[in-house]
Structure 1
Amino acid sequence: MKLYDYILSPSCYKVRLMAALAGATLDLRAVDFHPGGEHRGPELLSLNPGGSIPILVDGDLILTESAAILVYLAAKAAPEWLGRASAEDAAREQQWLSFSGRLTTSLGGARLHEMLLRPGDLAALQAAGIAALRELEAGLVEQRLRGRNFLVSDRPTVADIACFPYVALAPDGGVSLDPYPAIRLWSRALRALPGFIEMPGIHRLHELKPEPNLEQSEV
């Protein structure tokens, strides 16, 4: 399987992370996303006319959406990462996979504005990102009340991997994670998984702080 990859892309990172956790091997093909704009060159546009990365090629199969790639890797290499134990879990998985797109648009857009000077309304992107984080925090608190540490069940699924990178990198776009203890606990749980790999820019400073206390925090 070949992954057209940019090392600083959270969307590409979530694919590399899923592969590492699932024990799948990827042939990485580096893309000069910035400043070269190779993703909009003729070679990559022939694979993905949408002009985005990541792109996964496996034989005759070409996948261009990160959520679909995560599901494919899990189904192929580690089906236990699919939240399909019940109809409720399957629906929750799809809900959070769809939700991850909002994180990409809002928190990812703010990050691109701040780091790569991409045009956009930073205040609006940050406000949308904060709204998404509040929704994620509420969902994680609800799960904890049910005895679950992850978005779908008591074990991580592709939904957690889909949401994690843009949340972890929210400070790059000027959005703090300090008000969200459940998110920080969830992040620690994901980092502790066997096979977890880092991405440049996702630091561990929050892990030096005291353990978040949900009872003393407001959602």
Structure 2
Amino acid sequence: MKLYDYVLSASCYKVRLMAALMGRKLDLKAVDFHPGREHRSAAFRALNPAGTLPVLVDGDLTLTESTAMLVYLAQVSKAGAWLGAGPVQTAQVQQWLAFSARLGASLGMARLHDMLLYPGDIDGFRRAGVECLRELEAHLTEARFAGRIYLTGDAPTIADIACFPNVALAPDGGVTLDDYPSIRLWSRAIRALPGFIEMPGIHRLHELKPAPEAVPPLESLP
């Protein structure tokens, strides 16, 4: 499988991460997204008329939507549990995939604005991003009270992988995660998955240290 990739893209990272979790090796083809805007070139548009990243090519198959790539990687890896078990969870997964698009249009756009100077209403992007984070935090808090850590159950699905990057990278767009403890615990659980890989801005070790609230107070230390 060949992935047309930009290392700083949250959408590209979703696919790289999913492939790593599935134990699939990707042939990465770097695209000069910024500043070269190679994704808008005639040559690239011949591959993907929309001029967007990522693009996954496997034999005669070309996919241009990252969520479709997550589904494909789970299917070819015979990891059906990642798609949802039964009609209820499968529908829930699809709902969170739609939510991931809202994350990209808010937190993702705020990050593009701040990091790559993309034009747009930065205050609007951040407000919409905060609304998404509050919605996600409420859901994950309720799940945590029920003994679950992931979006749709006791195990991760492609929904978690679709939503994780833009949430984890929210600080790059000026949106802090300090007020969202359930999101931080969910993020830590994803970072601890076997096969997890990093990207610039998303690391693993500091998130796996004890949470601040788990550190004993000074007066209790010997």
- What TM-score, normalized by structure 2, do the two folds share? 0.91
What is the CA distance between 1:45 and its match in structure 2? Answer: 0.4
Aligned to 1:88: 88
Aligned to 1:49: 49
Which blocks of at least 5 consecutive residues in structure 2 are unaligned? Answer: 215-222
Query: Per-residue displacement from partner, 1:120-142 (whole Å, max 9, x unpaired)?
Result: 11110000000000111111112
> For 2:135, what is the secondary structure of its paired residue?
helix
Aligned to 1:135: 135
- Give yes or no for contact 1:83–1:152 (8 Å, CA) kept in 2: no
What is the CA distance between 1:144 and its match in structure 2? Answer: 1.7
Q: In 2, Cα distance between the equivalents of 1:113 and 1:191?
A: 26
Q: In 2, Cα distance between the equivalents of 1:160 and 1:141?
A: 15
Aligned to 1:210: 211
What is the CA distance between 1:83 and its match in structure 2? Answer: 3.5
Aligned to 2:17: 17
Q: Residues 74 and 137 from structure 1, CA distance in 2 versus in 1: closer, same or farther, beyond 3 angstroms?
A: same
What is the CA distance between 1:145 and its match in structure 2? Answer: 2.5
Identical amino acids, percent of aligned pairs: 63
Aligned to 2:144: 144
Q: How many residues were matched structurally? A: 213
Amino acid in the other structure paired with 2:157: T
Q: Residues 29 and 87 from structure 1, CA distance in 2 versus in 1: closer, same or farther, beyond 3 angstroms?
A: same
- Give yes or no for contact 1:6–1:31 (8 Å, CA) kept in 2: yes
Which of 1 and 2 has greater Rg?
A: 2
What is the CA distance between 1:211 and its match in structure 2? Answer: 4.5
- Give yes or no for contact 1:83–1:153 (8 Å, CA) kept in 2: no
Q: In 2, Cα distance between the equivalents of 1:112 and 1:47?
A: 24
Q: In 2, Cα distance between the equivalents of 1:66 and 1:153?
A: 22
Query: Per-residue displacement from partner, 1:19-73 (whole Å, max 9, x unpaired)?
Result: 0000111111010100100001122101111110000011111100101101100
Q: In 1, Cα distance between the equivalents of 2:109 and 2:123?
A: 11
Aligned to 1:216: none
- Give yes or no for contact 1:81–1:158 (8 Å, CA) kept in 2: no
